[in-house]
A and B are shown apart, each in its own frame.
Chain A
Amino acid sequence: MKIDFQQSVQRIIAIWLALVALLAMTVAGAFIPMGIGNTVLSLGLATAKAALVVVFYMELRHSSVFLRVIAAVSVFAISLLFILGGLDFFTRITYLAPWQHAVPSLSSQSQ
């Protein structure tokens, strides 16, 4: 029991070190020009951090199957929100009228 406790405390601290290391990687990675890769990397590392928090700090590791199902369903529900909410925007091709600027007009706004 005592050893279990010590191991748990050590694990909690190790997870924190991993979280801070991942954060350092996230910040450093943001300065390397990779185009869309920057977004993929920073959100990928954020997901890794979130996974550590959920699995170890929120103790999903020791939780019942039912709790894991709830967690999975919430992730599924939010991805539905992204897919259905963003489908139109992400698939629409915008045809510009000849007189429109190619980018949102810089000239009309107060600079």
Chain B
Amino acid sequence: MSTPTENALEYRARLGLWVFLASELMFFGPVFVSYAVASYTLAPGFGLAGQTTDLLLGTLNTVILLSSSLFVALAVEFSRQGRTQTVRRMLTITIALAIAFLVVKAREYGQDWDKNLVPGYAFSAPPQYHQRSTELFYYIYFVSTLLHGVHLLIGIGLLAISRHRISASPMYHRRLAATALYWHFVDLIWIFLFPLLYLAGRSS
């Protein structure tokens, strides 16, 4: 039995990750479908609820996450060259950005709590909004952002392991490439959550 070549091994790792991410997409799918159904059947109340989220913090978090994707992509590129010092630096920045995202999100959750926007517990939207639709909007807001947050935490763990076990070996490169794929996926989910949760109803 011949041992698989390096290319075959990298292909295998990428293949496995892509299949996993395809199943992850189906995991997030129902959240997006429930948003679509709610915004269609509860229009316009549901759509207007998007005005009550914090656009500034949401946009900031989007920039943070897009930038983290930049640095993890750079890390993969430097790892291909075996430049471990630079890889470490890139991963440190990525992890710092990921933590910054969580800090901003936690601050936002705090604001939501103060404004009684947490569904199920003394929920009360500002009087000009429709209460039931806005509450449903916040159910979806919390489910989707918390689900995304859990993925982000897992991602931070994987990045921290990648940073800790840094080496110039092909095996390390494969693992880092797989971690980066996962991280980009977490970014992808946010790219779609952002307009739905923060931009809906802004023009009216």
Contacts and interface: CB of A to CB of B under 8 A. Distances in A.
A15 B11 CA distance: 24
A38 to B, nearest CB: 5
Contact of A27 (B30, B55, B73, B180): B55
B22 interface: yes
Interface string A45-83: 110011001101110000110110011011101100110
Interface string B126-139: 01001111000000
Contact of A85 (B18, B33, B181): B33
Contact of A12 (B26, B63, B74, B124): B74
Contact of A81 (B33, B59, B67): B33
Interface string A24-52: 00110011111000110011011001100
Interface string B77-93: 10011000000000000
B22 to A, nearest CB: 3
A49 B187 CA distance: 10
Contact of A53 (B15, B18, B188, B200): B188
Contacts of A54: 184, 188
B59 A71 contact: no
Contacts of B15: 66-67, 70
B26 A77 contact: yes
A86 B33 contact: yes
Contacts of B80: 5
A70 B22 contact: yes
A111 interface: yes
Interface stretch (B34-42, B149-157, B162-170): B34-42
Contacts of A12: 70, 73-74, 77
- Enumerate the 3 nearest inter-chain pairs by beta-carbon distance, A residue then B residue, closest first: A74-B22, A42-B195, A30-B199
Interface of A: 5, 8-9, 12-13, 15-16, 19-20, 23, 26-27, 30-34, 38-39, 42-43, 45-46, 49-50, 53-54, 56-58, 63-64, 66-67, 70-71, 73-75, 77-78, 81-82, 85-86, 89-90, 103-104, 106, 109-111
